[in-house]
Amino acid sequence: MASTFKGLPIALNLPQFENHEKQEGKYTTCYMCACRCGIKVTVEDNEVRFIQGNKNHPVNKGVLCAKGNAGIMKQKSPAKLQQPMMRKKGSERGTGEFEPVSWDVALDYLSERLEKIRNTDPKKLAFFTGRDQMQALSGLWAQQYGTINWAAHGGFCSVNMAAAGLYSIGHAFWEFGDPDWDNTKYFMLWGVAEDHASNPIKIGLEKIKRRGAKFVSINPVRTGYQAIADEWVPIKPGTDAILALSMIHVLMKNDLFDWEYLVRYTNSPYLVYNTPGESTDGLICRDAEGNPQSWDLEKEALVDGSLPEIKPALFGEYTSADGKALKTVFTLLAERYLDDQYSPAEASKVCGVAADDIERMALEMAHVAFEETIEINCEWTDWAGRKHDKFIGRPVSMHAMRGISAHSNGFQACRAIHLLQIMLGSVDVPGGHLAKPPFPKHIVPPIKPAKPTSPGQPLNSPPLGFPTCPEDLVIDDDGKPLRIDKAYSWDAPIANHGLMHMVITNAVKGDPYPIDTLIIFMANMSWNSTMNTSSVRDMLTEKDESGEKDENGDYKYKLPFLVVADAFHSEMTAFADLILPDTTYLERYDTISILDRPISEPHAVCDAIRAPVIEPDRDVRPWQEVLVDLATRLKFPAFTKEDGSPKYEGYNDFVINYEKAPGLGFLAGWRGEDGSKSLRGEPNQNQWQDYIDNECFFEHKLPKEHHYYRFANKGYLEFAKESGFIGSSKPIIMELYSESLQKFRLAGQGLYDGPQPKNDYDKHRMVTYFDPLPDYYEPLEQQATSSTEYPFFAITQRPMMMYHSWDSQNAWLRQILAQNYMYMNRQKAEEMGIVDLSWIWVESENGKIRVQVKLMEGVESNTIWTWNAIGKQRGAWGLDPTANESNDGFLLNHLISEHLPSKSADRAVTNSDPITGQAAWYDLQVKIYPAAAGETGTWPTFDTIKPMPGAEKPVSKLQYQTHKAVGLHRSMRDILTRGKTKRDDS
């Protein structure tokens, strides 16, 4: 065939390698992790030939990570569930005795059971979803069912990041915001354990490295992204807040902060009552209409602090109209952080970062922010109608994730990082940290978590929301939690994502009450997504020996009925009473909705769909189709016409025609009857096809004047209101000082005019942790653990070639990583006489594990770490029982208790952030010691899970190809001349 190479004609005698006539390129959205990149899938005879990044897609711009490239092996996994299953009558839960049932039998049984619960006490159904990318639907389903016991996995993932962002800047890291990769000159990456995001971070890092921007990484471990950092700062886990606050101390000492930015866009000049012991203490002084008060320097009077053109004092002490002492927010900040306890010398003792380095990094960032300011010429109009001719940028940006999030002080640590960004004037400005639509939102979004439930009725608001005061807690009149996970109780008042990690423990212990049915979607709560794995597994089979017996004469399980919906056979499905098999991501329709977890870019509103690229070969159904089916059977009002007939024919029909508010639906693109409208418009019956025709994504690019300062950008705010992103086009005022937190603190002090905690422990938590200013405190578990006895921090990292893709233990990816080791600092190990690749015991207050150790340089001396979720139960995920994952790999989870050490409280209290309920995975402290001679192999291990009836048998040899190879041949002449003669045809 005649060919060209990069435009040059080359005559080559090449065969046709691919029969393109037999192939079809189809677009959809990846689901190998949570990034939701666009992919083009080449299909040949209903088999996948090749998956590549979609070059037009806003998220990944053509590239694709290792996981995305391994999609074929997810599709070929022998662990795929084949059909609905019920636990065999008379068999014990967890023994893997299942019998296939039809979908009709499964759904008839389930809907009958669910109807009974709904008509008696709907909160006896708990519905928790794992890596759910359609929370807008599952949340709506729970609301319509009428149970408050719904949440997704955010409570054990990253709620600290989302909550800290939404309570400070109105957006957050990752899904709600991104560094301005194209303009930033200084990038600080905090605690990213190679987790979110995948491709976008790699694309961004390359951009900044190419431009010569500086990349600083704060992380106890140097792998992955940290490998290419210009500076690696091995911090002690859980101490990031003090590092951030110490840098703020340095900025303050040097009078280095963006004065105008603070005055105009934050609550810095607001006046706060300084009335200790009174109910007003720490609240913002407001006029009769509720407007915050500031001191006007020209008028020398109190004024409405929300007005434009006032000249508010940033510093000072004033007096309210009724004679009470007031201070500006920024005065409180300065008083706090100028204190010597935040000096680099003092902070260094806590976080282990050298004092000189703390000072230098702060001053480097100040140099970039204030001496290398960017100006982008562009006319824009601010919230008060004033025209500006440029955007001023402070090109310092940051990103933070797991290492901040997974500590019980993570909410405040993340707030401290945002405060540092705000001090530098670098939020939503060129080169800084940019919001991604529909963010920023007003602080905080005006949605309150649902509280009352009543039989047969939907909830009057969504199960999850944003409390701003103790009245918003979901507790009864005695102060007891109403939710099964105790979210929005005194244990975790701002638990915006729920506490999925507590559901099984609480339900089995009947604390706060027993439930009837638990539905789990796509979460491995009996293995790597739970704390205290061994005990939780025992709980799942605990029977109530004081209760009634079932029809076989056996005591009932304390958790009576467990439904698992998933595409793969896991450690979790093994405990199910009913398994509803899902499709794979290549087999179904999905929406990646703005109503849910958006995939927007900073300068474009985006959403996307999945469309099936291959036909399922099993008796499986998409879970969202099952949800719509159940909603219809149970006659939820939103799914039922007035005459009682179903409103929607199925999921696809629902997505097109459901309107959250007039003109607003799950998909923002191609709205309006003829598909001509964007963001808002009537339902379009051709909407799915319109998406498919546009490679399965929608991108609404923002005009240049809406690119920055969106918290105060009139044009953008009006657009956002019209598009349903925010309820008002008023400016979004960033909150350095959180009055919401102060209200909880007042409640703890007994000064709040409203609900107050009753016992000393809760009072102490409110007073200590609900600090209206971000601050550092030692993580809770560590406060109660002896650092002498347990001197090491133990954490996990996410291998970037597997993060979020470990659900199928992919045949290609596991060749890269099938066993995790416990990594430790080489010098430290040598001091302790621990030898590379030897077996050691790692012991916490909760238990011990035996693991193989590997020594390395790139880890902080007092930290040990391992890759998360590599260890598997024998026989799970379609793996052979001899697989390395089950015999040499391990979980750290066994060492982590879901409760704080018992000496902490008079009752069992979740091992979580006391503000948000975020699971405190990384607070773990351990001791390590060599295993005895002959002690090898991972411990503990568990019985081998039986294969599902009808499961594919794992093969011992895999030779995947979609067509027979078309080979190239060397001519005999070329051989004889040893390649020294030109080919005849060249």
Partner 1 sequence: MKLGLVVDLDTCVGCNACAVACKQWNTSGTTGPLTDLEPYGKDPTGVWFNRIRNYELGDYPDNKTVHFPMSCMHCEDAACVTVCPTGASYKREEDGIVLVDQDKCMGCNLCAWACPYGARELDPEEGVMKKCTLCVDRIYDEALPEDERQPACVMTCPAHARFFGDFDDPNSEVSRLSRERGGEHLMPELGYKPVNTYLPPRNKPNIPTYKNETNPIEKVKDWVNRLVAR
Residues 839-898 that bind partner 1 (CB under 8 A): 856-859, 861, 878-880, 882-884, 887
Q: Between 225 and 806, whose beta carbon lies closer to partner 1?
A: 225
Q: Are 74 and 51 in contact (CB under 8 A)?
A: no
Query: How many whole angstroms separate alpha carbon 891 and alpha carbon 527?
Result: 8
Interface with partner 1 (CB under 8 A), residue from 484, 613, 800, 896: 800
Query: How many whole angstroms separate alpha carbon 656 and alpha carbon 761?
Result: 50
Query: How many whole angstroms separate alpha carbon 42 and alpha carbon 842?
Result: 47
Q: Between 384 and 835, whose beta carbon lies closer to partner 1?
A: 384
Binding of residue 815 to partner 1 (CB under 8 A): yes
Interface with partner 1 (CB under 8 A), residue from 22, 55, 349, 730: 55
> Quick one: which segment of 96-104, 633-641, 740-748, 959-967 binds partner 1 (CB under 8 A)?
959-967
Name 179's bridge partners. 433
Contact positions with partner 1 (CB under 8 A) in 714-733: none
Binding of residue 959 to partner 1 (CB under 8 A): yes
Strands (E), 441-552: 517-521
Is cis: bond before 106, omega within 30 of 0? Answer: no
Q: Where are the alpha helices (DSSP H) in 352-442?
A: 355-371, 402-405, 410-423
Interface with partner 1 (CB under 8 A), residue from 119, 689, 786, 827: 827
Contact positions with partner 1 (CB under 8 A) in 499-538: none
Binding of residue 748 to partner 1 (CB under 8 A): no
Q: Are 660 and 654 in contact (CB under 8 A)?
A: no
Nearest 10 degrees: Cα torsion 859, 862, 868, 874: 120
Q: Between 84 and 878, whose beta carbon lies closer to partner 1?
A: 878
Query: How many whole angstroms separate alpha carbon 278 and alpha carbon 367?
Result: 43
Binding of residue 234 to partner 1 (CB under 8 A): yes
Contact map string, positions 106 to 135, toward partner 1, x by CB under 8 A: ------------------------------
Nearest 10 degrees: Cα torsion 691, 694, 699, 703: -130
For the chain, the first-to-last Cα distance in angstroms comes to 12
Q: Between 341 and 686, whose beta carbon lies closer to partner 1?
A: 341
Binding of residue 288 to partner 1 (CB under 8 A): no
Residue 884 CB, nearest approach to partner 1 (Å):
6
Residue 336 CB, nearest approach to partner 1 (Å):
10
Q: Between 88 and 311, whose beta carbon lies closer to partner 1?
A: 311
Interface with partner 1 (CB under 8 A), residue from 33, 59, 72, 235: 72
Name 751's Cβ contacts closer than 8 Å, sequence gap at least 6. 277, 278, 279, 281
Residue 186 CB, nearest approach to partner 1 (Å):
7
Binding of residue 936 to partner 1 (CB under 8 A): no
Query: How many whole angstroms separate alpha carbon 249 and alpha carbon 774?
Result: 13
Binding of residue 543 to partner 1 (CB under 8 A): no
Interface with partner 1 (CB under 8 A), residue from 286, 360, 480, 660: 360
Q: Are 486 and 492 in contact (CB under 8 A)?
A: yes
Query: How many whole angstroms separate alpha carbon 42 and alpha carbon 962?
Result: 10
Helix, strand, or coil (residue 509): helix
CA distances from 916 to 377, 447, 913 (A): 41, 16, 6
Residue 580 CB, nearest approach to partner 1 (Å):
24
For the chain, give the longest Cα–Cα distance: 104
Residue 536 CB, nearest approach to partner 1 (Å):
26
Q: Where are the alpha helices (DSSP H) in 17-102?
A: 66-69, 71-75
Q: Between 314 and 924, whose beta carbon lies closer to partner 1?
A: 314
> Quick one: which segment of 69-77, 444-452, 599-607, 911-919 binds partner 1 (CB under 8 A)?
69-77
Helix, strand, or coil (residue 578): strand
Q: Between 399 and 743, whose beta carbon lies closer to partner 1?
A: 399
Name 977's Cβ contacts closer than 8 Å, sequence gap at least 6. none
> Quick one: which segment of 125-133, 559-567, 656-664, 819-827 binds partner 1 (CB under 8 A)?
819-827
Q: Between 62 and 445, whose beta carbon lies closer to partner 1?
A: 62
The structure tokens 């008379």 sit at 90
Residue 407 CB, nearest approach to partner 1 (Å):
22
Sign of CA dihedral 127, 130, 133, 136: positive
CA-wise closest residue to 950 among 75, 47, 85: 85
Strands (E), 575-649: 578-581, 590-592, 604-610
Helix, strand, or coil (residue 952): coil
Binding of residue 667 to partner 1 (CB under 8 A): no
Q: Between 290 and 967, whose beta carbon lies closer to partner 1?
A: 967
Q: Between 201 and 502, whose beta carbon lies closer to partner 1?
A: 201
CA-wise closest residue to 14 among 974, 966, 651: 966
Q: Between 256 and 401, whose beta carbon lies closer to partner 1?
A: 256
Q: Are 248 and 365 in contact (CB under 8 A)?
A: no
Binding of residue 5 to partner 1 (CB under 8 A): yes
Contact positions with partner 1 (CB under 8 A) in 170-189: 186
Q: Between 661 and 972, whose beta carbon lies closer to partner 1?
A: 972
Q: Between 816 and 835, whose beta carbon lies closer to partner 1?
A: 816
Interface with partner 1 (CB under 8 A), residue from 114, 801, 834, 928: 801
Binding of residue 929 to partner 1 (CB under 8 A): no
**What does the chain come to in residues?**
986
Interface with partner 1 (CB under 8 A), residue from 104, 289, 371, 615: 371
Query: How many whole angstroms separate alpha carbon 734 and alpha carbon 168?
Result: 6
Contact positions with partner 1 (CB under 8 A) in 202-221: 202-203, 205-206, 209-210, 212-214
Contact map string, positions 760 to 799, toward partner 1, x by CB under 8 A: ----------------------------------------
Q: Is 279 exposed, middle or buried (0-12, 13-18, 19+ CB in 10 A)?
A: middle
Helix axes of 344-351 and 240-253: crossing angle, nearest 10 degrees: 170
Binding of residue 345 to partner 1 (CB under 8 A): no
Binding of residue 983 to partner 1 (CB under 8 A): yes
Helix, strand, or coil (residue 662): coil
Residue 252 CB, nearest approach to partner 1 (Å):
6
The structure tokens 């956002």 sit at 720
Q: Between 768 and 884, whose beta carbon lies closer to partner 1?
A: 884
Residue 932 CB, nearest approach to partner 1 (Å):
25
Q: Between 331 and 584, whose beta carbon lies closer to partner 1?
A: 331
Residue 194 CB, nearest approach to partner 1 (Å):
8
Contact positions with partner 1 (CB under 8 A) in 962-981: 962-963, 965-970, 974-975, 979, 981
Residue 367 CB, nearest approach to partner 1 (Å):
4
Q: Are 98 and 88 in contact (CB under 8 A)?
A: yes
Q: Between 129 and 426, whose beta carbon lies closer to partner 1?
A: 426
Q: Between 523 and 829, whose beta carbon lies closer to partner 1?
A: 829
Q: Between 443 and 504, whose beta carbon lies closer to partner 1?
A: 443
- Give the pairing of strands 925-930 and 578-581: unpaired
Contact map string, positions 291 to 330, toward partner 1, x by CB under 8 A: ---x--xx------x-xxxxxxxxxx--------------
Q: 178 is written with which tokens?
A: 């991104």
CA distances from 863 to 278, 548, 793, 827, 855 (A): 44, 49, 5, 12, 12
Binding of residue 368 to partner 1 (CB under 8 A): yes
Query: How many whole angstroms separate alpha carbon 910 and alpha carbon 530?
Result: 13
Contact positions with partner 1 (CB under 8 A) in 247-276: 252-256, 259-260, 263-264, 269
- Give the pairing of strands 150-151 and 125-129: parallel
